[in-house]
Chain A
Amino acid sequence: MVYIFDGTKSGFLTAFLVAYADPEAVLASEKIQLPLGQTPVFVATDEARAEKAKNRLLAFDRDCMRDLDTLLRSGMENREQIALGYFRVLAREKRPVSKRLAEREVFEAVECMKKVGHEIHKFHGFIRFMETASGALYAPFAPDNDICDLLLPHFRARLPQFPFVLHDIKRKKAAVYDGQNSFVAPLERAEILLSANETGWQALWKRYYRAVNIPSRERLKQMKGYMPVRYWKFLPETQTSAEDL
C-alpha cells in the first residue's frame, strides 16, 4: 500500500503509525508514480498521535527527531521511504541504531543524512553574497536539499553586523537575518539594487580566480567532483563575461 502524507515531521509520524504493520508499505509525500492498480491512502496529520509516537521513539533514541528532520530535508526522491526503513529498525531494536551500518535500511538512512550534512558544509563555502545598495547581503542559490535555514547559524556567527538573505530559488523560500533576528519566509523573486562597488569586487574576484589556477595541470573532472556544475550558476568565478575572453 502507498501512504501519502504532507511531508511534515508530524505527518511522517502519523503515517508511520499507520504504515508500520504493513510490510509492503511505501511512504511518500509528493505525487509519485503509482504502481498499476494501486490507490494511495492519504494520511491526515494527527498532532496528538504524532506527539505520542514521537515520545516513544525518543525514549529509544533521544537524537532520532533530529535524524528525522534531516531525512525529510533530503532532496532524494525516496527520502520518506528511507526514513520509514530507518524508524522501523529503531522501533524494532528499541535503542539507537545509527551505528548498525551492516543493516541496509540504516546504511541508506545514514548515507542520506550525510548527504544533507555535506551539502550544508559545502554551502558554507559556496554561498556567494552580493552587496546591495543598503549594505545588506543577498545570496541566491539552489541546493539539492532543503537547508537554507540550517545555514543561518554559520553566517550569523560570522557576519553579525550584516543583514543577509539566503534565497533558495528552487523552493522559493529564504532564510533571513535582519541584523538581530532570523526567520524563514516564502520568497518568489527578489528585487535587488546592487551597491556601487559590487561589480568591481566581483571582477577582482574573477581576476584572482584566474590567477591562481595552474592551466598546465587542468583536472576538470576533479574540479567538478568537488564543485558540481549545477552549483556554478551562482558563482561569479565560473561565469565568463565578454571582457574575460
Chain B
Amino acid sequence: MITEEKLKILTESAKYDVSCSSSGSGRKNAGGMGNGYVAGCCHSFTPDGRCVSLLKILLSNDCIYNCKYCPNRLDADVPRATATPEEICELTIDFYKRNYIEGLFLSSAVYKNPDYTMERLLLVVKKLRTEYRFHGYIHLKGIPRADEKLTEEAARYVDRMSYNIELPSEQSLKLLAPQKSKESLLLPMKKLTEQSEAFREEKKKGLVKGYFLPAGQTTQMIVGASPERDGQILRLTQALYRKNGLKRVYYSSYVPVVKDKLLPEVGAGQLREHRLYQADWLLRFYGFSVEEIVDEGEDLAMELDPKCAWALRNMHLFPVEINRAPLEVLLRVPGIGAKNAYKIMEARKYTKLSFEDLTKMRVALKRAKHFITCNGKFFGAKNEYAVRGLLAQAETQESAEQLDLFGMLSTPQNALIALHGQL
C-alpha cells in the first residue's frame, strides 16, 4: 500500500489538471473488474465544487524540465516522490472496488528523460489491463518528445490521452516552458488522431480487435499566465476541434502557485474561464463558429455570456416564433439551452405553445423572452437598450448566485451600470 505521504505529494500537483471527465468509453468488462460508463460518472465533489471522477495522480513529480509556472519544475525546492507501477495499480484497483472512482488519470513529470517516463507509464497501464484485468476508465497524459512507438502502444490500453498545450502560443511556450514547443505537443496529437482513424477503419473490417483511445483526446490551456486574448485562444480551440478531432479543450484559469518575474502575480478570474467554457459550448453544440463569437485580438465580454452578446449584435434576426423556428435557430436564442430547445421541438407537435406553456415546462424565459414570440405575441422589452440592461442585470444576479463572485460584477458601481444598461 502506498504511503499517505507519497500519495499526497503525487496528487497535490495533479489536481491542477482540470479534466476529470470519465465519459466517452463503452469499454466492456471482459472478466476481472470494471467497465466504461459512456455518460461519465462523478463519485464525489470537493468543497471547491469540482467533481471527483478519476484518481488523478503523477507517477513521479521529479522533473528534468523547468516550466516556469510549475511547482514541480527542476529548480523548485519541493519534496519529490516516484511511485512504483504496483503502487499505482493497487491504489487504482482498491479505490475502484470501493466505488470511490471511475478510473485512473495518470500523468507524470519528465522523470530522467521522456522515453523513460513514457516507458514507465506504459508499464503501468499495461499491467493494469493485463495483470490486474482492470477495464475501468484510464486517461493517460502523453509525454512530449517521447518515442512515437511507446505512445502508440499506450493508446491501445487507455481510453483517452491528452497532451496539454498549456500556453496558447509558441511565443509564450518559449518563454515559460522552454523545453516544450507547439510542435512537440501538436505532432503527437495529430499522429494519434490519424492512428485512431486507421484503427477504426480496420476494426470495421474485422481486421483488429480491442480499443484505441475510444474516448479520444483532450487538451488543456492555462488562461491568464500569458497575454493571449480570448479570440486567439478560441481560434486555436476551433482548429483543434475541426482539424485535430479533439473531444474537448479545457481551460484552467491561472493560479499563481509559483513566483516568477515572467508570471503575473494574480490569477485570472474564474469568470474569464467561465466565459471561455460558454464560448466553447457554442462551438461544440450550438453550431457557432469562432468568427461569430469574438474577434481575434479581443476578449469575450465579461458582463454578458457570449450567446447574449452575439444576439445583441444581431438583433435584426430576432424575435423568432417559438412554434415555427427550426432547431438551429432555437439553439441560438439566449437562455434556451439544448435541452430546452429539444423540449420545445417535441411539445409544439401537440399544441401551439403559449408563453404560459413555456413557463409550465420550466423553460427559463428571463433572457429568452426578449428574442421570441409565442403565437405572434412578444413579451420582451421594447428597445435594444432596455434588453441589454435587463440581460446584464440577469447575468449579475445569476453569476452572483452561481459563482460567488469575483470582485468585478459584485461591486455596487458595476451593478448600477448594469441596471442602467450602459455597459
Contact = CB atoms under 8 A, between A and B. Distances in A.
B413 interface: no
B98 interface: yes
Interface stretch (A38-46, A61-69, A174-182, A206-214): A206-214
Contacts of A101: 343, 346-347, 360-361
Contact of A157 (B32, B35, B42, B46): B35
Interface stretch (A7-15, A48-56, A80-88, A125-133): A125-133
Contacts of B95: 201, 204-205, 208
Nearest to B136: A158
Interface string B31-48: 111110101011111111
**Which of under 10, 10 to 19, 20 to 34, or 35 or more describes the interface residues of B?**
35 or more
A129 B33 CA distance: 14
A238 to B, nearest CB: 8
Given A102-B351, A207-B7, A222 B49 contact: yes
Interface string B84-128: 000000010011011110100000000000000000000000000
Contacts of A235: 44
Contact of B1 (A162, A200, A217): A200
B98 A129 contact: yes
Contact of A99 (B48, B52, B347): B347
B11 interface: yes
B255 interface: yes
B49 A107 contact: no
B270 interface: yes
B185 interface: no
Contact of B353 (A102, A130, A209): A102
Interface in B359-374: 360-362
Contacts of B8: 207, 211
B396 to A, nearest CB: 17
A227 B45 contact: yes
B198 to A, nearest CB: 30
**Which of under 10, 10 to 19, 20 to 34, or 35 or more describes the interface residues of A?**
35 or more
User: Binding site of B, secondary structure by majority: helix, strand, loop or mixed?
Assistant: loop
A99 B350 contact: yes
B346 A128 contact: no
A116 B7 CA distance: 37
B2 A226 contact: no
Contact of A201 (B31, B98, B357): B98
Contacts of B31: 160
Contacts of B353: 102
A220 B47 contact: yes
Contact of B48 (A121, A124, A126, A214): A214
A121 B32 CA distance: 23
A158 B48 contact: no
A212 B52 contact: yes
B77 interface: no
A33 interface: no
A144 interface: no
B313 interface: no
B375 interface: no
Contacts of B37: 124
A204 B97 contact: no
B350 A160 contact: no
B392 to A, nearest CB: 23
B44 A204 contact: no
A75 to B, nearest CB: 20
Nearest to B270: A217
Interface in A110-161: 121, 124-131, 137, 139, 155, 157-161
Interface of A: 99-102, 104, 107, 121, 124-131, 137, 139, 155, 157-162, 197, 200-201, 203-205, 207-209, 211-223, 226-227, 235, 237
Given A201-B95, A219-B404, 15 more contacts: A100-B347, A102-B350, A121-B41, A129-B98, A131-B98, A139-B99, A161-B33, A201-B1, A208-B55, A212-B11, A212-B46, A222-B49, A223-B49, A226-B49, A235-B44
Query: A-B pairs with the 6 shortest C-beta distances?
Result: A222-B49, A219-B49, A213-B46, A102-B357, A212-B15, A217-B48
18 contacts: A99-B346, A107-B361, A107-B362, A124-B41, A125-B99, A128-B98, A128-B99, A129-B99, A158-B33, A158-B136, A201-B1, A205-B100, A209-B44, A214-B50, A217-B48, A219-B404, A222-B402, A223-B46
